[in-house]
């Protein structure tokens, strides 16, 4: 059965009969999980296995947003609480090498957590560069306030994930850092000139063009396309994402149900594919909405299929060796020493090493 260029969500901790029937008919490329879907390791493992069994694809991607800080779907008591990205640049203020080491190690530990329950894609790193006065939706999710620092720590995190057998997703291309609104609620418009965008916002993405997956920003860049956000703008896709940035990996949309986008879900889906996105993402697990998106979603084919296959080919069949207990102790010891450690609330009752 042909796979469709769609990543879907689900409503709860197990797939309902209606969801199973829908996914069997549709065969979406991937499934994304949220806090509502994550209870304990055995439950998530069963959920991911069930999803893969429906389409008969052992490598079907299962995604999650596991950044640390405010954005962490798997948390205590079964998984530790990780710090927000900004913690690593604070460590680096005293020791740049240790700061980058911790960014990689934290991501490597996250990959271990995820891979052990069947999650193979993490929507990390955030490569957005915030500026004074921008909305706090990015805030401490950013690795720093300059493009070079964001790129350096973003690469360290991405490499840590890949070493642990989990694919990174660079986001939100071509940059959400200047946005003065949360795109979950409204459409942000960035009025910076093209030169400023090239020098700052786009730079971390240019540095990580070798990464396999990217997620778009629901943001209007008036210097490039004053009418459409990046997700639905052919001009932004061609001139910036594929052009100035030079990204040739798989581009997925951010969640189509976010209020930044206008029109019906079907219209949003059509506009995303017309713009040149390879894959659309719908997260809330509402079946009527999924049906509306699916009706306008093509079979994964051509360049999009080749990019998807290339991405899955980056997953290591065996993770880089890791002494999990020693690595975890090292990671949180450094955070404690720099007074940046979150209260982990971690009480593992299962084997964490994979």
Helices and strands, counts by H and E, the chain: 12, 12
Q: Which of 254, 255, 278, 282 is catalytic?
A: 254
Provide the CB-side half-sphere exposure for 43 (13 A, CA): 13
User: Is there a catalytic annotation at residue 18?
Assistant: no
CB atoms within 10 A of CB 336: 10
SS3 state of residue 26: helix
Q: Which of 42, 148, 184, 323 is catalytic?
A: 184
Q: How many residues does the chain have?
A: 354
Asked whether the bond before 307 is cis by omega within 30 degrees of 0, the reply is no
Which residue is it, tokens 């994979």? 354
Is residue 212 within 8 Å of residue 254, measured between CB atoms?
no
User: Is there a catalytic annotation at residue 185?
Assistant: no
Spatial CB neighbours of 132, under 8 Å, sequence gap ≥ 6: none
Find, among 289, 278, 313, 306, the residue nearest to 6 by Cα. 278
Q: How far apart are CA 38 and CA 65, in angstroms?
A: 12
Spatial CB neighbours of 240, under 8 Å, sequence gap ≥ 6: 174, 202, 221, 224, 230
Residues catalogued as catalytic: 184, 254
């Amino acid at each position: 059965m042909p796979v469709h260029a769609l990543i879907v969500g689900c409503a709860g901790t197990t797939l309902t009969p209606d969801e199973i029937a829908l996914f069997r008919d549709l065969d979406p490329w991937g499934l994304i999980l949220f806090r509502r879907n994550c209870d304990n390791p055995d439950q998530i493992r069963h959920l991911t296995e069930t999803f893969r069994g429906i389409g008969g694809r052992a490598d079907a991607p299962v995604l999650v947003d596991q950044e640390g800080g405010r954005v962490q779907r798997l948390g205590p008591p079964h998984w530790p609480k990780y710090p927000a990205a900004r913690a690593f640049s604070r460590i680096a203020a005293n020791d740049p090498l240790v700061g980058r080491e911790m960014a990689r190690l934290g991501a490597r530990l996250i990959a271990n957590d995820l891979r052990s329950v069947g999650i193979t894609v993490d929507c990390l790193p955030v490569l957005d560069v915030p500026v004074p006065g921008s909305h706090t939706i990015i805030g401490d999710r950013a690795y720093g306030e300059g493009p070079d620092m964001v790129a350096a720590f973003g690469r360290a995190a991405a490499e840590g994930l890949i070493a642990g057998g989990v694919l990174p997703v660079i986001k939100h291309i071509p940059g959400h850092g200047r946005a003065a609104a949360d795109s979950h609620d409204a459409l942000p418009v960035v009025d910076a000139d093209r030169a400023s965008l090239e020098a700052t916002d786009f730079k971390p993405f240019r540095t990580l063009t070798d990464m396999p997956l990217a997620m778009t920003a629901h943001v209007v860049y008036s210097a490039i396309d004053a009418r459409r956000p990046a997700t639905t703008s052919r001009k932004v896709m061609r001139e910036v994402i594929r052009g100035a940035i030079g990204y040739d990996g798989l581009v997925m949309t951010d969640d189509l149900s976010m209020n930044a986008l206008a029109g019906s879900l079907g219209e949003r889906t059509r506009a995303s594919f017309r713009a040149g996105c390879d894959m659309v993402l719908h997260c809330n697990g509402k079946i009527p909405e999924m049906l509306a998106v699916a009706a306008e979603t093509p079979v994964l084919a051509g360049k999009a299929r080749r990019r998807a296959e290339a991405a899955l080919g980056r997953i290591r069949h065996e993770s880089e060796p890791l002494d999990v207990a020693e690595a975890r102790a090292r990671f949180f010891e450094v955070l404690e020493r720099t007074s940046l450690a979150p209260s982990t609330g971690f009480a593992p009752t299962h084997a964490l090493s994979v």
